[in-house]
């Protein structure tokens, strides 16, 4: 994989991690203010989807090595 592609993937992973952290902060704020449970559940689902995206990007950065 080219260095530029690696750099782009690392940047995407960093952005996704930040977005994941932002969702976590927002969810905690929603819970502390007593927000609707359905909205909190939807936010958690989006957060989980972002985590899945992070895993996919990281798998592209560090491919599995078959021993």
Q: In this model, does residue 12 exceed pLDDT 90?
A: yes
SS (H, E, C) 1-22: CCHHHHHHHHHHHHHHHHHHHH
Q: What is the mean pLDDT of residues 12-26?
A: 97
CA distances from 29 to 4, 22, 33, 36 (A): 38, 11, 6, 12
CA distance 58 to 9: 8
Tens of pLDDT, residue by residue over 21-67, are: 999 999 999 999 998 999 999 999 999 999 999 999 999 888 767 65
Torsion angle of C-alpha atoms 12, 50, 24, 58, degrees rounded to 10? -50
């Amino acid at each position: 994989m080219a260095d530029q592609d690696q750099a782009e993937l690392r940047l995407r992973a960093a952005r996704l991690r930040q977005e994941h952290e932002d969702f976590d902060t927002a969810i905690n704020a929603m819970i502390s203010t007593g927000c609707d449970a359905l909205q909190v559940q939807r936010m958690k689902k989006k957060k989980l989807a972002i985590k899945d995206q992070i895993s996919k990007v990281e798998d592209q950065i560090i491919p599995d090595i078959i021993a």
